[in-house]
């Protein structure tokens, strides 16, 4: 039958069963310097093994009831505190042995001597997704992020939170990634376009790229997105291709949408004579770290672009918007107006990279949700309806956007 693992600090437990008994194999990897400490350790392991057997019985019931596909025993045992009508003298113990791994002992009990009435425990009140989220928030690392990501109830809203946790430096992957996401936070993307990286940063990029090949899901996507953002221009396209390959378009609406836009983009770096922020953003929809941008509230050039757009002077408006991005810096209103201008010019595929970035910066930004939905619809995206459901659930939508979305739904 199945075997389940639980560990806490220096103690490791393997719980299993046969036809007639339950068994817990214990391993302690810490120091034991005296016989007194050894006796105390045996008592602690014995008591913990009793809890492990009871928890194992409840988990098997919970696992069957919910048809679980993964192993969540560690999580189940960590965040649930059950009491059992049993005494430690019910357990039989093997002799303590010292091995290369540490101190080992096995406890067992006949099934007839350890019966748990599962109906007396509130198993229906246990929400596994909440436990996974709680575990992830406790220590935002790749292992816990992926456990959360792989759970079947993981949503697009959950995805964006985890993805942006990594890009913002709130979650940790490896030392080089952790250093990079906090380096030159307001200009990292721009600097990658305007100057060659130093030797130290090249080492960072290589280390992150190597680590990314061993990761998967949202963690791998965040690593490649950071490389697209920070690595030299010559390497960005290869990292973007890897980013697209890492997306699971069947997992979340965001991944599906980004995958679609990445394949539909109409420009590449090879087409650009003098790369700058404005043109490079268009090349990599969905893979620019929003926390690595020079965000600015200056708007003198933007105001001229807005004036030209109001007069339907599209070419002139885009020229001013390009200057605004490159000289004034990034702002959601600028990104949105770029998207709106390209949409008005019947080029929705060119609009999407800017609108995606605007949404990542501020999901409640005025007009952005509406322009996203309109552009996806114009591009013939088959899952526009599902994406609209995500937009409605994720954040407050401004009246203009709501009106556009309602029109599409009808």
For residue 73, count CB atoms less than 10 angstroms from its CB and return exposed for 0-12, middle for 13-18, buried for 19 or more.
buried
Q: Per the structure, how many domains does the chain have? A: 1
* Contact of 251 with 156, CB cutoff 8 Å: no
- What's this model's pTM, rounded to 2 decimal places? 0.92
State the sign of the Cα–Cα–Cα–Cα dihedral 225, 227, 233, 237.
negative
Is 27 within a domain? yes
Q: Which run of H or E residues covers position 93?
A: strand 92-93
Q: What is the pLDDT of residue 70?
A: 83
Is 59 within a domain? yes
pLDDT digits (tens, 9 = 90+) for 111-155: 998 989 999 999 999 999 999 999 999 999 999 999 999 999 999
* Contact of 257 with 349, CB cutoff 8 Å: no
pLDDT digits (tens, 9 = 90+) for 68-118: 888 999 999 999 988 887 666 788 999 999 999 999 999 999 999 898 999
Rounded Cα–Cα distance for residues 192 and 231 (Å)? 6
Is 99 within a domain? yes
User: What is the mean pLDDT of the segment spanning 313-332?
Assistant: 97
Q: What is the pLDDT of residue 33?
A: 87
Taking the alpha carbons at both ends of the chain, their separation in whole angstroms is 54
Rounded Cα–Cα distance for residues 36 and 6 (Å)? 25
Is 391 within a domain? no
Rounded Cα–Cα distance for residues 309 and 312 (Å)? 5
Q: What is the pLDDT of residue 186?
A: 82
Rounded Cα–Cα distance for residues 158 and 285 (Å)? 20
Collect contacts of 381-387 with beta carbons under 8 A, ≥24 apart: 381/257, 381/260, 383/253, 383/256, 383/257, 383/260, 384/408, 385/409, 386/253, 386/256, 387/253, 387/256, 387/257
Does residue 406 have a pLDDT over 80? yes
Give the pLDDT band (50/70/90) at residue 35.
confident
Under DSSP, is residue 215 helix (H, G, I), strand (E, B) or coil? coil
Rounded Cα–Cα distance for residues 381 and 355 (Å)? 16
Does residue 343 have a pLDDT over 90? yes
Which range marks the domain in which residue 50 is found?
4-123
Rounded Cα–Cα distance for residues 189 and 253 (Å)? 26
Does residue 384 have a pLDDT over 80? yes
User: What is the mean pLDDT of the segment spanning 36-50?
Assistant: 92
Is 174 within a domain? no
Give the pLDDT band (50/70/90) at residue 258.
very high
Is 129 within a domain? no
Rounded Cα–Cα distance for residues 357 and 365 (Å)? 11
Residues pairing with 376 in the sheet:
none
Percent of the chain with pLDDT over 90: 87
Is 33 within a domain? yes
Is 8 within a domain? yes
Q: Which of 346, 349, 372, 350 is nearest to 359 (CA)?
A: 372
Under DSSP, is residue 21 helix (H, G, I), strand (E, B) or coil? strand
Give the pLDDT band (50/70/90) at residue 410.
low
CA contacts within 13 A on the Cβ side of 347: 16
């Amino acid at each position: 039958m199945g075997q389940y693992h639980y560990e806490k600090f220096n103690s490791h437990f393997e719980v299993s069963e046969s036809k007639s008994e339950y068994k817990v194999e214990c391993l302690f990897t810490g120091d034991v310097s005296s016989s007194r400490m050894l006796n105390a350790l045996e008592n602690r392991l014995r008591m913990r093994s009793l809890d492990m057997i009871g928890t194992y019985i409840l988990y098997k019931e919970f696992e069957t009831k919910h048809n679980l596909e993964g192993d969540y025993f560690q999580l189940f045992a960590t965040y649930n505190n059950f009491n059992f009508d049993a005494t430690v003298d019910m357990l039989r113990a093997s002799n303590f042995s010292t091995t290369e791994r540490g101190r080992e002992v096995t406890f067992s009990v006949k099934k007839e001597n350890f019966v748990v009435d599962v109906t007396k425990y509130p198993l229906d009140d246990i929400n596994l997704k909440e436990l996974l989220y709680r575990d992830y928030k406790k220590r935002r690392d790749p292992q816990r992020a992926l456990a959360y990501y792989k759970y079947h109830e993981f949503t697009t809203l959950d995805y964006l939170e985890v993805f942006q946790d990594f890009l913002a430096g709130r979650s940790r992957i490896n030392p080089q990634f952790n250093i990079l996401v906090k380096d030159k936070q307001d200009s990292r993307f721009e600097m990658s376009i305007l100057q060659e990286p130093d030797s130290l940063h090249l080492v960072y990029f290589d280390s992150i790229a190597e680590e990314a090949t061993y990761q998967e899901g949202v963690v791998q996507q965040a690593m490649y997105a950071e490389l697209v953002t920070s690595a030299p221009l010559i390497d960005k396209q290869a990292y973007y291709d890897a980013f697209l390959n890492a997306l699971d378009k069947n997992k979340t609406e965001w991944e599906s949408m980004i995958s679609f836009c990445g394949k539909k983009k109409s420009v590449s770096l090879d087409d650009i004579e003098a790369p700058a922020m404005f043109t490079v953003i268009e090349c990599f929809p969905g893979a620019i770290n929003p926390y690595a941008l020079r965000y600015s509230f200056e708007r003198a050039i933007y105001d001229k672009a807005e004036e030209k757009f109001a007069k339907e002077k599209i070419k002139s408006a885009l020229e001013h918007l390009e200057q605004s991005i490159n000289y004034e810096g990034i702002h959601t209103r600028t990104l949105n107006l770029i998207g709106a201008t390209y949409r008005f010019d019947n080029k929705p595929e060119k609009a999407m990279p800017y609108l995606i970035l605007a949404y990542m910066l501020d999901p409640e930004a005025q007009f952005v949700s509406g322009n996203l939905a309109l552009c996806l619809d114009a591009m013939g995206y088959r899952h526009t309806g599902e994406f609209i459901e995500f937009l409605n659930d994720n954040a407050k939508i401004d009246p203009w956007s709501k009106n556009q979305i309602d029109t599409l739904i009808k």
